């Protein structure tokens, strides 16, 4: 028996709140992954290179030269005379260690070459120069 107030309205499921929740969760994950990047060097204006490639190795050591010429080893300021000894101590006996040079675009060519010369004296160290794609 049917009551007179009941109409033949089909049952509906409202999915709008579920879509709102899913978009909120998606926004949370997108925003949180933006902060997961790891910065290994100090912030410098890197030179641009169209043929830059990503390097994958076990040990990474970062040497940074800022626009004022200050040299840092893994974010710690260092004198250029102590660079070779400190890098040798960091990489130890690892033959696959990669030493990345983060030099600001304003740094003179001579200072970068001097740092590269000192790093080439470290046995087992492979050199790389950090760049950014244009």
Domain boundaries along the sequence of the chain: 59-129
d(CA 40, CA 38): 6
In which band, very low, low, confident or very high, does the pLDDT at 129 lie, cut at 50, 70 and 90? confident
- For the whole model, what pTM was predicted? 0.57
CB 119 within 8 A of CB 87: yes
Tokens of 78: 């260092």
d(CA 105, CA 107): 6
d(CA 116, CA 101): 8
Which residues have a Cβ under 8 Å from the Cβ of 91 and sit 6 or more positions away?
59, 61, 97, 99, 122, 124, 125
Tokens of 5: 């107030």
Nearest Cα to Cα of residue 82 among 63, 67, 68, 69 = 63
pLDDT tens sequence across 25-69: 999 999 888 877 655 555 666 666 676 666 665 667 888 888 888
Q: What percent of the chain has pLDDT over 70?
A: 74
Question: Can you tell me which residue has the tokens 């949370």?
Answer: 28
Assigned architecture for domain 59-129: 2-Layer Sandwich (3.30)
Whether the per-residue pLDDT at 1 is higher than 60: the answer is no
């Amino acid at each position: 028996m049917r009551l007179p107030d009941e109409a033949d309205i089909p049952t509906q499921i409202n999915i709008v709140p579920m879509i709102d929740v899913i978009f909120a969760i998606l926004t949370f994950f997108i925003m949180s992954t933006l902060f997961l990047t790891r910065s290994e060097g100090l912030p410098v204006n890197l030179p641009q290179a169209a043929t830059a490639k990503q390097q994958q190795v076990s040990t990474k050591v970062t040497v940074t030269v800022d626009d004022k010429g200050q040299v840092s080893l893994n974010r710690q300021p260092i004198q250029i005379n102590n660079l070779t000894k400190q890098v040798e101590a960091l990489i130890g006996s690892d033959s696959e260690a990669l030493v990345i040079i983060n030099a600001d675009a304003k740094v003179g060519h001579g200072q970068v070459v001097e740092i590269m010369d000192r790093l080439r004296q470290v046995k087992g160290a492979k050199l790389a120069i950090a760049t950014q794609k244009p």
